[in-house]
């Protein structure tokens, strides 16, 4: 779970994630909602405020069965739902772990009702994680392209922060490697706070979006489905 204090190594990225996801959910989430890759349910409280019902889906039963109870076990590459059945689909930090991301976005478009909405986040600059199932990184342009090819209309795509947050967050994660040394954990916590708070201030003063660690996309399924774009 995300840290609740700047003394925690992951406080900044989780703070920004929650703010951005909450804003997107308030503006677009509604009705029957599907959460692909629901994991530990970190954002359940935000989603439940906006949706009438929420179905969580996970692939890795061995990893999550003891800590969360998704409604469905399944793959984003072949969603076990009929066409046009969800008002909202969300997926946070999952697409990079999918070997065929275009296929997953097409599956999302299939299960969305006409007029339904997709809210998706994916990393642009971040270290390898959950290996070996870590395949891709995405620009905002790439996420927009995947959505349009699937027949969705892009409402917005934006960076969740700029260079300073990316650099500060990555630096803190590298510092965390030294916690294994005796006595270092307590010494590093004030440094985590200093670096993350400085990164947050600098990002507001001079935001360099091309070096964003993460992007968030909102797209809708047209009520009259247009012909899908051909991949280039």
Can you give the pTM of this predicted structure? 0.90
The pLDDT of residue 71 is 80
Domain parsing of the chain, residue ranges: 14-162+211-220
Percent of the chain with pLDDT over 70: 91
Q: Is the pLDDT of residue 142 over 60?
A: yes
| 3-47 pLDDT tens trace | 678 999 999 999 999 999 999 999 999 999 999 999 888 999 999
Query: 32-36 and 72-73 as β-strands: parallel, antiparallel, unpaired?
Result: unpaired
Residues 6+ apart with CB under 8 A from 232: none
Q: Where is pLDDT greater, at 69 or 207?
A: 207
Q: How far apart (Å, rounded) are the C-alpha atoms in residues 156 and 111?
A: 20
Give the model's confidence band at 209: pLDDT under 50 very low, under 70 low, under 90 confident, else very high.
confident
First to last CA, the chain: 39
Q: Is the pLDDT of residue 214 over 70?
A: yes
Confirm if 76 and 90 have CB atoms less than 8 A apart: no
Query: What's the mean per-residue pLDDT of the chain?
Result: 92
Q: How far apart (Å, rounded) are the C-alpha atoms in residues 66 and 150?
A: 34
DSSP states of the chain: ---SSTTSTTHHHHHHHHHHHHHHHHHH--SEEEEET-TT-TTHHHHHTT-SEEEEEES-HHHHTTT---SEE--TTS-SS-SS-EEEEEEES-GGG-S-HHHHHHHHHHHEEEEEEEEEEEESS----STTS------HHHHHHHHHHTTPEEEEEEESS-HHHHHHHHHHHHHGGGGGSTTHHHHHHHHHHHHHHHHHHHHHHS--GGG-SEEEEEEE--SSPPPPPPP-
Give the model's confidence band at 228: pLDDT under 50 very low, under 70 low, under 90 confident, else very high.
low
Query: 32-36 and 53-58 as β-strands: parallel, antiparallel, unpaired?
Result: parallel
Q: Is the pLDDT of residue 51 over 70?
A: yes
* CATH fold of 14-162+211-220: Rossmann fold (3.40.50)
Q: Is the pLDDT of residue 92 over 80?
A: yes
């Amino acid at each position: 779970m995300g840290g609740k204090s700047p003394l925690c190594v992951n406080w900044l990225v989780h703070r920004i994630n929650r703010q951005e996801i909450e804003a997107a959910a308030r503006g677009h989430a509604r009705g029957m909602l599907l959460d692909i890759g629901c994991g530990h349910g970190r954002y359940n409280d935000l989603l439940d405020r906006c949706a009438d019902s929420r179905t969580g889906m996970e692939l890795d039963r061995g990893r999550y069965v003891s800590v969360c109870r998704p409604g469905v076990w399944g793959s984003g590459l072949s969603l076990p739902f009929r066409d046009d059945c969800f008002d909202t689909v969300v997926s946070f930090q999952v697409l990079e772990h999918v070997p065929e991301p275009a296929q997953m976005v097409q599956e999302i478009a299939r299960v969305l009702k006409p007029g339904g909405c997709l809210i998706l986040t994916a990393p642009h600059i971040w270290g390898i994680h959950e290996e070996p199932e870590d395949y891709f990184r995405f620009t905002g342009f790439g996420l927009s392209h995947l959505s349009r090819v699937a027949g969705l209309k892009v409402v917005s795509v934006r960076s969740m922060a700029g260079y300073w947050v990316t650099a500060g967050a990555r630096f803190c994660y590298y510092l965390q490697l030294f916690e294994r040394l005796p006595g270092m954990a307590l010494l590093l916590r004030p440094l985590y706070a200093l670096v993350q708070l400085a990164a947050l201030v600098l990002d507001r003063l001079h935001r360099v979006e091309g070096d964003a660690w993460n992007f968030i996309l909102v797209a809708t399924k047209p009520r009259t489905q247009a012909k899908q774009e051909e991949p280039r």
